[in-house]
Structure 1
Amino acid sequence: MTDADLGAALPLPVPSAEMQDRLARRRSAPAQSLTAPGPSRVEVERILLLGARTPDHGKLFPWRFVVMGPQGRADLARALAPLAERQPDSGKAAKVLSKLTAPPLTILVLSVPIPGHKVPEWEQQLSAGAVCMNLEHAANALGYAASWITDWYSYDPDALALLGVGTGERVAGFIHIGTLAEPPLERPRPDVAALTSWRD
């Protein structure tokens, strides 16, 4: 979108059986099962552009992206390995690092709320979560599988320093993107009726 597009009328929503079917079958992929090919640089830029079209009260853009290729993630996993040994379940903590290195591409989404703004920080953080979901949908729309996860290194202070997470920032998610060799299996889904109340 350019400045010339601002204020232009956008298409109204229309019924789409294809979109309904995609949403009805949406399934996160196991991160460690994602393999090449991954998206090209042009495709990544498209995924980011689509992902950024998210609800954002106040137009604050309270998030930022870090695109992580294979070498950068391999270096990060090596740096995180000693920190994994300090976790309560060190074996499991070390094992989940494979989720960080297996996929061909990862987009780290950081929540960057603006303190003291009239838009509550909670709503700004929700916007970062919405970006994560949009990135998954965008990757799927380009023919790739995706997985949105965090894991222990999203919360460990020393790990956050290695990730370059700044003061006041939080990890909203690692969006791992790649290709699955086999279709994912359906998993249990919630009973929506049991979770819904109606107020007519």
Structure 2
Amino acid sequence: MSISKIIRERRSIKKDYKPDTVSEELVLELLNDAVYAPNHGIREPWRFLFVSSEKKEAFVEKLITCYPSEAHQARRDMYNQPAAYLVIIMKEDPRQKQWEEDFSATAALIQNFQLLAWERGLGVVWKTNAHNWDPKAHAILGVAPGEKIVGFLHLGFFDQENVPAARTRTLAEEKFTRFE
């Protein structure tokens, strides 16, 4: 499959996951290619927290405590849908230029991961929920001071018939200018 085809056909898979386990071996295989994202000075500012299918229930029970009790069941239902999770954590550099370079590199890594996963039939949705900034969630996940959650990736295999339809994108020509 060509890279342009994968880029155009990749979708965020948010629901209707198969019950199949997402193996740590597959996640590591994908990450070992995804880390070739461009990153200035090869600082590699990221680290990864994998929540396996086997540990997901305990993880969900801890994570829902970051929400008001009346939201627990709805969050439990939502967070139990994916087969596994991958949390992408970035070391925050106090220098603005380096911080932005590192954030951009981490975002590129996440996009690489999503494209590689799509090629293998693994659905991913990149989430930035409120708990990404919650100190209680940081404590649960072991996110240290000076670190930032860049992405909460929901992972699961899917059936092709459940793939969302493509949404229209604006042509580059409509946002393109020339320096004169």
TM-score scaled to structure 1, two decimals?
A: 0.77
Deviation at 1:97, TM superposition (A): 4.5
Provide the C-alpha distance between the structure 2 equivalents of 1:65 and 1:124, rounded to a whole number of angstroms.
15
Mapped pair 1:24 → 2:24: no
Give the number of aligned pairs. 178
Aligned residue number for residue 57 of structure 2: 74
Provide the C-alpha distance between the structure 1 equivalents of 2:36 and 2:73, rounded to a whole number of angstroms.
35
Provide the C-alpha distance between the structure 2 equivalents of 1:41 and 1:115, rounded to a whole number of angstroms.
32
Partner of 2:47, secondary structure, is strand
Mapped pair 1:147 → 2:143: no
More helix by share: 2
Distance 1:198-1:99 versus aligned 2 partners, 3 A rule: farther
Identity across the alignment (%): 22
Deviation at 1:165, TM superposition (A): 0.6
Provide the C-alpha distance between the structure 1 equivalents of 2:41 and 2:112, rounded to a whole number of angstroms.
19
TM-score scaled to structure 2, two decimals?
A: 0.85
Per-residue deviation, residues 72-122 of structure 1 (Å, max 9, x unmatched)? 332222123333107xxx64x7634444322112111001134459x6211
Structure 2 residue runs of 5 or longer lacking an equivalent are none
Distance 1:22-1:82 versus aligned 2 partners, 3 A rule: closer
Provide the C-alpha distance between the structure 2 equivalents of 1:39 and 1:20, rounded to a whole number of angstroms.
26
Partner of 1:153, secondary structure, is helix
Could you tell which deviates more after superposition, 163-172 or 186-195? 186-195
Aligned residue number for residue 178 of structure 2: 198
Aligned residue number for residue 121 of structure 1: 99
Mapped pair 1:171 → 2:139: no
Determine which structure has greater relative contact order: mean sequence separation of CA pairs < 8 Å that are 6+ residues apart, divided by chain length. Answer: 2
- Map 1:42-53; keep pairs closer than 5 Å: 42-53=25-36
Distance 1:152-1:137 versus aligned 2 partners, 3 A rule: same
Per-residue deviation, residues 150-190 of structure 1 (Å, max 9, x unmatched)? 21111111111111111111111012221223222222433
